Amino acid sequence: MKITDVEAIWLRVPALDQACEWGEDALIVRIHTDTGLIGLGETDSSPAVVKALIETPASHETCQGLRQVLIGENPLEIDRLWKKMYRSTEYMGRRGVAIHAISALDIALWDIAGQHYQVPVHTLLGGKYRDRIEAYGTFIPAATDEQNHAIVARLLSQGLRSIKLGGAGFGENLPRDAHILRKIREQVGDEVQIQIDLVGRWLNSSHAMAQCNALREFNLGWIEEPLSSDDLRGLAYLAEHAGIPVSGGEGLATRHEFRAFLEGSRPAIVQPDITRCGGISEMLHIYEMAQEYGARLVPHGFSTGILLAATIHFLASREFGNLIEYSQSDSPLFRGLVKNLTPLENGSVKVSDTPGLGIVLDEDMVQRYRVRK
């Protein structure tokens, strides 16, 4: 089998001069083969930049567009192709957006392999530990108590027992933050886990400690990215003294960044995004490393049903892969791009046993939202 073409497809719901809030644009890839099998992948990144990384012509050996790198290759040689892609983008890559592009292509290669061998991707990864995976839901706090009450009620009605809030300035006003959390804790009771996402908003470790001291009474499951991911000493201080589990890592790429993060900040939880960290292949390395450091891996995941499927197959195949983020976006790219989107049912998702990733794209939606540039 040989790769005959690589498509980088930029999707966007609002017009280019309008803002996206969450989940309204995407970069998906299709890898075509001479046997007719097509692999699907995606990355949650800047679509135009990733598209350029895939389509650019070669400048020299360590600066090549990834489409050209893959055409003519056997898609089943995933490990060799990952290393070839990494080396071929060494000068412009190694981290960040080049790894995002590689992530999308790696996921598509695993999809092809599963279809070729007629087994689900989780079987290729060693087999599944579970048939269902518990989910948690994320929301952006609204302006009023009544609105937040309605949002949380909607999450609970989906059977979720774990929820997370962040964004809209959460983390910038301690009395307001504490008020929001008090109301939510009163609403959900003691059994539901609540997490908060600071997106690196707290200023430094002493500022963050003051926030933690004030918020500890709400019994938070974790505090996510309380400081910049580069403030390893500050994060390590919080890990030791905050008395609340610290999590982070959704913006990190490759095992190399995760090793520095785990070693330097000793988080309780790492949150690689399978579409950014290097794909399914790299996620396996990061999972093993997290185990060595005693950290739990709870992936970040907030884009289309392609990301969701890849994350489900990965988690199903890991011994401790028992919590997944389920997007609460109403974007058509989440709700409808994958025709057989894995639904959230009573707070959990089912593990698919269909060969490959087991997903079908809505071609009409691809045509409707495709940016042709």
Q: Which residues sit at the interface with Mg ion, rule CB under 5 A?
A: 197, 224
Nearest distance in Å: CB 173, Mg ion: 19
Quick check: helix, strand or coil at residue 146? helix
- Indicate the residue among 106 and 197 with the shorter CB distance to Mg ion: 197
CA angle 202, 300, 99 (to 5 degrees): 100
CA gap 190, 134 in Å, rounded: 18
User: What is the number of other CB atoms lying within 10 angstroms of the CB of residue 229?
Assistant: 19
Nearer to Mg ion, 115 or 304 (CB): 304
> Which residue, judged by CB position, is nearest to Mg ion in the bound state?
197
Chain center to CA of 31: 21
Neighbouring C-beta atoms of residue 36, cutoff 10 Å: 9
CB of 272 to Mg ion, least distance (A): 12
Least CB distance from residue 30 to Mg ion, whole Å? Answer: 28
Query: Cβ of residue 224: shortest distance to Mg ion, in angstroms?
Result: 5
DSSP helix/strand/coil, 96: helix
- The torsion angle over the Cα atoms of residues 220, 222, 228 and 234, rounded to 10 degrees, is 80
Tell me whether residue 57 is exposed, middle or buried, using C-beta atoms within 10 angstroms of its C-beta: 0 to 12, 13 to 18, 19 or more.
exposed
Please give the DSSP secondary-structure letter assigned to residue 226: -
Nearer to Mg ion, 298 or 361 (CB): 298
Closer residue to Mg ion (CB): 103 or 138: 138
Nearest distance from C-beta of residue 229 to Mg ion, angstroms: 11
Q: Which is nearer to Mg ion, 177 or 224 (CB)?
A: 224
Instruction: Report the candidate in 220, 138, 148, 223 with the shortest Cα–Cα distance to residue 183.
Output: 148
Q: Which is nearer to Mg ion, 224 or 231 (CB)?
A: 224
Q: By C-beta, is 81 or 165 nearer to Mg ion?
A: 165
CB of 165 to Mg ion, least distance (A): 11
How far apart, in whole angstroms, are the C-alpha atoms of residue 23 and residue 38? Answer: 24
Residues 20 and 286: beta-carbon distance below 8 Å: no
What are the distances in angstroms from CA 245 to CA 138, 222, 351, 356, 358? 18, 5, 28, 35, 35
Judged by DSSP in three states, 52 sits in: helix
| Least distance from Mg ion to the Cβ atom of residue 164, Å | 8
Angle between helices 279-292 and 78-88 (to 10 degrees): 90
Tell me the closest approach of the beta carbon of residue 166 to Mg ion, in angstroms. Answer: 6
Measured from the CB atom, is 112 or 165 closer to Mg ion?
165
How far is Cα 316 from Cα 320, in angstroms, rounded to an integer?
9
Residue closer to Mg ion, measured from CB, 195 or 304: 195
Largest CA distance in the chain: 61
Residue type, 129: Y
In this structure, are residues 70 and 3 in contact, taking their beta carbons and an 8 Å threshold?
yes
DSSP-derived letter for residue 170 is: T
In the numeric block, the tokens 């959390």 are attached to 181
Nearest approach, Cβ of 225 to Mg ion (angstroms)?
A: 6
**Smaller CB separation from Mg ion, 120 or 301:** 301
- State the minimum distance, in angstroms, from the CB of residue 52 to Mg ion: 26
